[in-house]
Structures are given as C-alpha cells and as structure tokens.
A and B are shown apart, each in its own frame.
With several copies, the nearest count.
Chain A
C-alpha cells in the first residue's frame, strides 16, 4: 500500500486549524520548508508549533498570521540574520503566545508524548523565572521521599511531525543523511508523520544493513517527493542555505510580500504545477 501523496493533499488531510506541529531540523538546517510553505498557502491558522530551535519555519508562519503558540527554547536566525522579527513582533503584540522553554524541556515535554504520560520530570531546572511565570512547569515533592524537589514539565503532544529527508520509499521508510537533530524524538511523539523527501524510490526493502532506515514505514502517514524541499534552508551534501532567497524573505514587510515570496516556490513545491510547467524531470 503506497503512502505516496501530493503535498497539497497531505497538508490538507493531516493539518487542521489549531494543529500542534513539529518540524524537522534545527535553525536553518533541513526545515521542511516546502511543507511549511504549503501550510502558508492553505492559510491553516491557529497553529501550535513545538521546536527546540526554530528560525525561518516559525518566522514564516508567524509572518502569515497563522501561529497561535510557539513552545521553543530558541527562536532566531543564527548570528548573521538576527532575531525572527515576525515571531518577536507577534509575541510582543500578544498575538502569539511564546512559551519559553529550555531546549531540553521541549524535548522532555515531547518525551512525555512518546510515553503517553501527562508530565516528565526534569532535573536541573530549579533556579529560573521560567518556573515562576509559566504554568507548564511545576515543582513538586518527590513521592519516593527524596529530599530534593522535582521539576515537572507538562507534556506537549504534537498532532503532526513533518520531516524532510533525503530518501524515502512508497511504504514510508525514510533515510536522513547527516545530522538527525531532534527528528528521532518528533516522529515518535507525533500522532501523524508526514515525510517530504528529496527522492522517493519504490521500495527500500532489502537494503537493510547497507542503508540505515531512520524512520520505519509503518510509523509514517504520507510520503511526498519534493526535491529541494528544505530550501532556502540547507540540506547536508545537497544544498547550502540560499542566502539570496532568505534575504528576500527578511526584506518583506507585509503579507503581500510574503505571498510573492511563496509564489517563487510554487513550481518546485507542488507536483501539479511542476508537471504543468513540464520542466521537471521525475
């Protein structure tokens, strides 16, 4: 049974207004940008985003007014490009709830989802206004009689994890080349997993031992072939950050500007349009 879908279809089927989402990669590396753009095109709103360290993925959806809450340890472009201004403005103007975590507590909150428990104990986080200001942390006594109080972080259960990978097969088996970042956590934590892949082959069966399958097919719901699907973010061994397109986005001021920016990617993100254009080799 093939799980192959078109991007438009997969985003429509699995992502709803208010969905809690996790994205692959870290900062400007291997974010599933084609899928993020498709969410923006479909204007699916009130999204809750969970990521240790996000950048363009979060900032684009904030710029489009589609974000309700961000749970993250760090939201910023790396040094050169500075803060995520759309996220920042949204939080400052109280349109967006910015739940600050330590990156670790994001991962522990996702561990809670993996283990289907309502909270996860976290050591080390004892001196911080984050504990005072936020109801997603609680400090309790140790029921086993230990003397130290225990900090708990409330579980965050993502509805969908979107992961951009190097190669996948039609059954949903996926191979990530290079750094895995937090992907091993998010595909286990989420209710549904959407894979976008640089390339889809009919079957990875029989390659065990030769290739390492990072995500087993039965855990994924949809696979979509999107060459360049992380652009303008980077992907190990394939492409670097596209600084020109990144600057172009950052220079956008209004939603109209961002929509024009999105249009630049229509033909590479959407297969239908790629085929119409006739220029895309399968």
Chain B
C-alpha cells in the first residue's frame, strides 16, 4: 500500500525523525545512520535552523550532503562544516549531560526499553555476533533524548525480552516503518502510526503486548518536506538501508 504513495517509507521515517528535532538543540548521529543524517539536514532546512549537527568525522553543521555518495561517517561532513568537534568530544559532551539528541540503532528492543545491539543467543551460546552498540551504551543513558530508528518492524525485532541488554536509559522515541514508539514510565507505548498502517498491523508485527488502541496518525510528508528532501539528499541516502 505504502509504495503506491508519492513518498517512500524512508521519506516517512526521515520526516518523522526530523519533526522530533527542535531549533537550538545539539544532535548527533553515528555511522550507518543515513536516515538520521538526512533528517537533521531536513530539520535545519525547515524548522530548526539553529540546531547543531554533530557526527563521527567531527564536522559541526555540514552544509551539504550533495557530494556524499555512500557513508554517514565520511569526511564530506567535515569538508563544508563550520568548525570541528571530534567524536570523543561528542561523547564527553553527552557524558556531561549536554547533548540534547542522539540517534542510535539497535537490533532488538523490548517492552522495557532495553536495547540489544550485541548478540543473538546468550554469551555462552552465541547465535549471532551483531556489530555492537557503537555509541549506544553510553549515549542512550546520557543524552537528554535518545531517538532509535529501525527499518525492520517484526516480532523478532520488537520482542518480549531482549537476548542481551546492551543499554537502556534516556530512550525517548523509536521510529519504525510502521509507527513511533514512545518510552514512557519505563515502558514502550505506541505513540503514533504512519499513514497506511493500522494499530492492528503494528500489534501483529510486535512481539510484546501493545495496550494502546487509538493513536494519532502521523502526517504524511508534506510537499515542502519532500521537495526539500530531494534537494538536500539527491542521492537518496535515506533509502540506503532499504536497498
């Protein structure tokens, strides 16, 4: 159904993340984080011009992604930046409680807001060695608001209990192809769904119980958002995880 619309799931998720960012905030994304990277550029272009965009190569407020062919950690982010702030600086900043938003990934999530990016199985009976949580284990507890995104929404991703707690903490939102979860009073609750899906579909694709029955539907990407997306991300980096 979604593919009949004039926008892609990547567009929707990118807009949903972009709308979570406020003007003046200091926000960070890491490696393999194309959607968050584009969502930050989108927010700065539309409603959050003074947001501060930090990243792994250390460029503060990169002015363009137009020459970025592949990576969300490439030195293009430094080449046209306003100044530099290293990855270690970013971590220290968050550790000091001064990072407003961190975008982080993960592979498994449970109803208690636990994030697993480490292993499937148990340490003694390892099934899959995952890439690792990168910054999550210190950023999710210390950033004021941690936004997690995941391009898969199924019962293996959203589970009753994660296999391994890589981290938990100041998780704020989880953005998926179907919905946005909110982390509220120690539990994941359904915050809103994207157009084209239903609460029932989300429930069916989620491995833990969802109590909410009626939630708002997010506005589809506006024409202005879509136009801006195409301008700032002509290579469609935001869709790279869906390829």
Contacts and interface: CB of A to CB of B under 8 A. Distances in A.
B133 interface: yes
Contacts of B24: 1
B83 A208 contact: yes
A128 B167 contact: yes
A209 interface: yes
Contacts of A234: 70-71, 74-75
Contacts of B60: 216, 218
Contacts of B72: 78
Contact of B75 (A116, A129, A179): A179
B137 A125 contact: yes
B235 to A, nearest CB: 12
Contacts of B76: 236
A178 interface: yes
A241 interface: yes
A150 interface: no
Contacts of B228: none
A128 B123 contact: no
Interface in B74-127: 74-89, 91-92, 94-97, 118, 123, 126-127
A129 B166 contact: yes
A74 B57 contact: no
Nearest to A80: B240
A204 B82 contact: yes
Given A29-B71, A78-B72, A102-B134, A188 B89 contact: yes
A26 B132 contact: no
B243 interface: yes
B202 interface: no
Interface centre among A105, A113, A130, A209 (most CB of B within 10 A): A130
B74 to A, nearest CB: 6
A74 B134 contact: yes
B74 A83 contact: no
Contacts of B84: 180, 213, 216
Contact of B129 (A73, A98, A213, A218): A98
A266 interface: no
Contact of B73 (A53, A129, A185, A215): A53
Given A29-B74, A124-B141, A208-B80, A179 B57 contact: yes
B57 A178 contact: yes
Contacts of A88: 128-129
B56 A128 contact: no
B166 A128 contact: yes
Interface of B: 24, 26, 30-32, 34, 50, 52, 56-60, 69-89, 91-92, 94-97, 118, 123, 126-139, 141-142, 164-169, 240-241, 243
Given A103-B30, A123-B142, 12 more contacts: A53-B73, A53-B134, A78-B73, A102-B135, A105-B138, A114-B96, A116-B96, A124-B139, A179-B78, A181-B86, A209-B79, A218-B60
5 contacts: A76-B32, A83-B131, A114-B96, A178-B57, A208-B79
